[in-house]
A and B are shown apart, each in its own frame.
Chain A
Amino acid sequence: MDIKEIKLLQKNNPDLKIRELKNDKTNINTIYFESLCDSDSINDFLLKPINMNTIKSINDIKDKIPNGNLKEVTDEKTLFECLYNGFTVIEIKNKFLSFETKFPLDSGISEASNEKVIKGPKDAFTENYQNNMGLIRKRIRSKDLVFKEHVIGTTSKTKVSLIYVDGIVDKKLVNKIEKKLKTMTMDYVANSNYITENLNNNNYMFPTNLMTERPDYVGFQLMEGRVAILVENTPQVIIIPAFFSDFIKTVDDYYQNTKNVSITRIIRVLALIISIFTPAVYIALTTFNQETLPTSVLINFSIQRGGVPFPSIVEAIIMWLTFEILREADTRIPFVMGTSMSIVGALVLGQAAVEAGLISPIMIIIIAISSVASLLFNDNDMVNAIRIWKLLFLLLSAFVGLYGVFIGLVLFIMKLCSMDSYGFDYTDPNAPFNMQAQKNNIILTKKYKLNKRNPFLTDNSNRR
């Protein structure tokens, strides 16, 4: 390891700076990445003290320079690790020492953009790993809060830390996840999704983990006995395990009146049912089981269907596809162009299609209510899973009517019951029914009554 070798690297790394200083006939080299370091702190806390003191060896620097985070560098590997992490390396007579002069390369703590709450804390995770850790530690001030750090990514060297509260968490779950994190081989970790995909052997359409950008929710779930995974450069934290019933709950359920929340949760369950079943039931009733509809409703539907050239199922699939295209466009489009798109979507595709006689108005209502109902769930994976099941039900009902809808229902329940989330039943606490866990299921009871933790997640320290 030589300073000359490092100087060679400057060719491919234009932001690698090497500054030579002379202090009492001693040559001092400071090496740092301009793009990762804060030049102010280098000037104030490294270069200034070096100038003001007499420095003869590396030990003088250790003694005289006031800097909190210091690392000794002994080999090439640690040298580069330090450089890439925003450290400044000082070389004296081929001996190296590094100081942290990291520049915060990310937006500051801001409001959560995807999980909005009316009441409750507004801060959200950022891309900064240290900040995110701090946001969690701020909420659980206990020595039992454990951060187990792993470095994943042979090239990217991303820090991933497994967070849990010792004494509450199920140790088996921690060991299982830890084992997987250790054996994970990837060259690059871009997002927390890279980790979850590798943690989970099964590729389910329904999400088996929660992703949140809210530190208060992570704190709540850690105290429930779940495990969180914090990935560097990702503003979303993974919470493991997640059950199907977790997706009808939101963060700010716990910040509102419990009775109102219970009603809201019932509405969410209804919305789930509506979003999956309405198109299928409509198709089944109007093309197979017309005798089940009241006469006046049948006449009404029949009048609206008059003149529509396509079979109902084609009509439904066209509308469903249109809505999905609009939704996808809406997430990708820059904010400024959003209004023009909504005009095209609402007016041209909706109203004009009806007036042209291509689509019946009732079909627009059916697809709209079912699509809007599916948007109640803020997890994107959940919305997409509902979308696929909706289509499956639609096809089944188009072939055999209500009979097909019930076949689909059986398949749906079979699928949900056969799923597992990191070794836990996905339908907990409903399918292996647990009375105690019902206190925070669809009906939410007052917090003082929630004196026991979820019995599936914790076995030793059940009581709060």
Chain B
Amino acid sequence: MKKIIIILIIILSFTGCYNYKELNKIAIVSSIAIDKKDDKYLVSAQVMNAKQDKESESSQVVVYEAKGETINGALRNMTMKAPRTIYGGHLSKLVISEEIAKEGIANIIDGFQRLTEIRNEFTITIARNIEASKVIKIMTSTESVPAEYVKTSLETADISSALTYSTKLDEFASLYLKKGIDPVIAVIEVDNYEKKGTTLDNTDTTDPITKIVLGNIAVTNNGKFEKYLTKEETIGYNFIRNQVEEIVIPVKCDDKYYASITVLKNKTKYKVAKVNNKYQIKYFINSNGVIGEYDCSDELIKEKVINNLEKKAEKKIKYYINKALEAQKDSKSKFLGFERNIYLNYPKYKDEEYEIKLNVNLELSRKGELRNSSKGAKKNEY
């Protein structure tokens, strides 16, 4: 036993502390932005500025920029400017400019996958109408680290409104490599970009001068950016891909006023069949929801009114999905993944015609109590 311990200690000390890095010697990168300038990659890295004195007025993040023929080379060049080693193990967001996205996202992703230290879990986003490096320079107020701000707001938007969808590196790579489906990526926009937005002044007010705003999603084709989707198309896309967790659907309940249906649970299933030598995909969209708001005068106690609302909401969902279908028809991208769904069931499938059928079923939850509701109940109390 003693011998084993001695031998182990000797052997282990020969490793020279492989991969050893002290916490205060590394620069933790939270997000990376990639632009193109003079035929070279301009890589900007947002580094978390860990300082002991929390009360100091300095910003929590610093952005370093470096140019290079490749992304890896640019990251290496960055060490000339940053005092600490760049550490990408906690990278949470990658921002790509539109120009580069058009040239190809897939080859950039490939570069990141080959880096050993970088985490495979970061979100890929595209900067719309702005340079990517500017996006990561903006100071945000609620989260001290802007990358965390974008990450959390993407997650909330993803979960509670289905208005966007954040694709992580792993998912992007796996969808890109699959036949008959293309990945989508989240879009970031900047509202009123000013130089002042990169300073701490931006966080001191209740109404920041420059804001980071989430866009909907961008569609790729063969690893290259193709076009942006609108809000309605994005919702349709999320319904088809079974990615809806919660969503609010506004429905017109009479000529003037609206009611809003909150979908709390959604399950999208599909079935592929071959009818008359033609492929047919049937989508079954089953949602459960509640009435979130009701502005009309009809009494909600009547079953007919509720059934009517359900039908209207179903129609609305169909409308969203049809928008998404139209968007796919206009482009070469296969972001809805119909071909893949057919291929999984009929492996002999080869780019033939197919037909989509929708079966939307929304059920409003009728169990529950109404307390202190001013609408829909009879006026019978004084």
Instruction: Report which A residues bind B (CB closer than 8 A).
Output: 286-288, 290-291, 295-296, 298-299, 301-308, 311-312, 392, 395-396, 398-401, 404, 407, 411, 414-415, 418
**Residue contact B90 to A295, C-beta cutoff 8 Å:** yes
Q: Which residues in B have their C-beta under 8 angstroms from that of A398? A: 17
| Interface-centre pick from B5, B22, B24 (highest chain A CB count, 10 A) | B24
Q: Which of B8-39 contact A (CB under 8 A)?
A: 8-9, 12-13, 15, 17-24, 26, 28, 30
**Residue contact B22 to A312, C-beta cutoff 8 Å:** yes
- Judge whether B80 is part of the interface by a CB distance below 8 angstroms: no
A-B CB contact pairs (8 Å), 10 listed: A290-B21, A290-B23, A290-B26, A290-B87, A296-B148, A399-B17, A400-B12, A411-B4, A414-B1, A415-B1
B5, B48, B52, B90: the one contacting A304 at CB < 8 Å is B52
Query: In whole angstroms, how far apart are the Cα atoms of A306 and B12 in the complex?
Result: 28
Bitwise, B139-179 to A at CB < 8 A (1) or not (0) is 00000010010000000000000000000000000000000
- Judge whether B89 is part of the interface by a CB distance below 8 angstroms: yes
- Judge whether B221 is part of the interface by a CB distance below 8 angstroms: no
**Residue contact B19 to A298, C-beta cutoff 8 Å:** no
The 4 closest A-B pairs by CB, nearest first: A291-B89, A302-B50, A399-B12, A306-B52
Q: Which of B49-64 contact A (CB under 8 A)?
A: 50-52, 54
- Judge whether B92 is part of the interface by a CB distance below 8 angstroms: yes
Q: Which residue of A lies closest to B50 (CB)?
A: A302
- Judge whether B252 is part of the interface by a CB distance below 8 angstroms: no
A287, A288, A306, A395: the one contacting B51 at CB < 8 Å is A306
B22, B26, B28, B30: the one contacting A311 at CB < 8 Å is B22
Report whether over half of chain B's contact residues are helix, strand or loop; otherwise say mixed: loop
Q: Which residue of A lies closest to B17 (CB)?
A: A399
- Judge whether B315 is part of the interface by a CB distance below 8 angstroms: no
Query: In whole angstroms, how far apart are the Cα atoms of A400 and B54 in the complex?
Result: 32
Query: In whole angstroms, how far apart are the Cα atoms of A308 and B22 in the complex?
Result: 11
Q: With A295-B92, A304-B52, A418-B1 as given contacts, are A399 and B15 in contact (CB-CB < 8 Å)?
A: yes
Query: In whole angstroms, how far apart are the Cα atoms of A295 and B151 in the complex?
Result: 12
Q: With A295-B92, A396-B12, A418-B1 as given contacts, are A303 and B50 in contact (CB-CB < 8 Å)?
A: yes
Q: What is the CB-to-nearest-CB distance from A333 to chain B, in angstroms, rounded to a whole number?
A: 34
Query: In whole angstroms, how far apart are the Cα atoms of A401 and B12 in the complex?
Result: 11
Q: What is the CB-to-nearest-CB distance from B120 to chain A, in angstroms, rounded to a whole number?
A: 10
Q: Which residues in B have their C-beta under 8 angstroms from that of A307? A: 24, 52
- Judge whether B119 is part of the interface by a CB distance below 8 angstroms: yes
**Residue contact A303 to B5, C-beta cutoff 8 Å:** no
Q: Which residues in A have their C-beta under 8 angstroms from that of B87? A: 290
Query: In whole angstroms, how far apart are the Cα atoms of A401 and B15 in the complex?
Result: 11
Q: What is the CB-to-nearest-CB distance from A290 to chain B, in angstroms, rounded to a whole number?
A: 5
Q: Which residues in A have their C-beta under 8 angstroms from that of B89? A: 290-291
Q: Which residues in A have their C-beta under 8 angstroms from that of B24? A: 302, 305-308
Query: In whole angstroms, how far apart are the Cα atoms of A427 and B90 in the complex?
Result: 42
**Residue contact B28 to A291, C-beta cutoff 8 Å:** no
Q: Which residues in B have their C-beta under 8 angstroms from that of A418? A: 1
Q: Which residues in B have their C-beta under 8 angstroms from that of A411? A: 4-5, 8
**Residue contact A303 to B12, C-beta cutoff 8 Å:** no
Q: Which residues in A have their C-beta under 8 angstroms from that of B4? A: 411
**Residue contact B30 to A295, C-beta cutoff 8 Å:** yes
**Residue contact A291 to B119, C-beta cutoff 8 Å:** yes
**Residue contact B23 to A287, C-beta cutoff 8 Å:** yes
Q: Which residues in A have their C-beta under 8 angstroms from that of B30? A: 295
Q: Which residue of B lies closest to A307 (CB)?
A: B52
**Residue contact A401 to B19, C-beta cutoff 8 Å:** yes
Q: With A295-B92, A298-B90, A303-B50 as given contacts, are A400 and B22 in contact (CB-CB < 8 Å)?
A: no
**Residue contact A407 to B23, C-beta cutoff 8 Å:** no
**Residue contact A290 to B90, C-beta cutoff 8 Å:** yes
Q: Which residue of A lies closest to B89 (CB)?
A: A291
Q: Which residues in B have their C-beta under 8 angstroms from that of A407? A: 8, 12
Q: Which residue of B lies closest to A404 (CB)?
A: B12
**Residue contact B119 to A286, C-beta cutoff 8 Å:** no
**Residue contact B20 to A287, C-beta cutoff 8 Å:** yes
Q: What is the CB-to-nearest-CB distance from B178 to chain A, in angstroms, rounded to a whole number?
A: 27
Bitwise, B327-346 to A at CB < 8 A (1) or not (0) is 00000000000000000000
Q: Which residue of A lies closest to B4 (CB)?
A: A411
Query: In whole angstroms, how far apart are the Cα atoms of A306 and B26 in the complex?
Result: 11
Q: What is the CB-to-nearest-CB distance from A292 to chain B, in angstroms, rounded to a whole number?
A: 9
Q: Which residues in A have their C-beta under 8 angstroms from that of B148? A: 295-296
Q: Which residues in B have their C-beta under 8 angstroms from that of A401? A: 19-20
| Interface-centre pick from B5, B23, B51, B92 (highest chain A CB count, 10 A) | B23
Bitwise, B117-154 to A at CB < 8 A (1) or not (0) is 10100000000000000000000000001001000000
Q: What is the CB-to-nearest-CB distance from A287 to chain B, in angstroms, rounded to a whole number?
A: 6
Q: Which residues in A have their C-beta under 8 angstroms from that of B48? A: 299, 302
Q: What is the CB-to-nearest-CB distance from A33 to chain B, in angstroms, rounded to a whole number?
A: 49
Query: In whole angstroms, how far apart are the Cα atoms of A286 and B20 in the complex?
Result: 9
Query: In whole angstroms, how far apart are the Cα atoms of A303 and B4 in the complex?
Result: 39
Q: Which residues in A have their C-beta under 8 angstroms from that of B26? A: 290, 302
Bitwise, B227-269 to A at CB < 8 A (1) or not (0) is 0000000000000000000000000000000000000000000
Q: What is the CB-to-nearest-CB distance from B57 to chain A, in angstroms, rounded to a whole number?
A: 16
Q: What is the CB-to-nearest-CB distance from A19 to chain B, in angstroms, rounded to a whole number?
A: 62
Query: In whole angstroms, how far apart are the Cα atoms of A395 and B17 in the complex?
Result: 11
**Residue contact B50 to A306, C-beta cutoff 8 Å:** yes
Q: What is the CB-to-nearest-CB distance from A301 to chain B, in angstroms, rounded to a whole number?
A: 6
Query: In whole angstroms, how far apart are the Cα atoms of A303 and B51 in the complex?
Result: 5
Q: Which residues in A have their C-beta under 8 angstroms from that of B28? A: 295, 298-299, 302
Q: Which residue of B lies closest to A300 (CB)?
A: B50
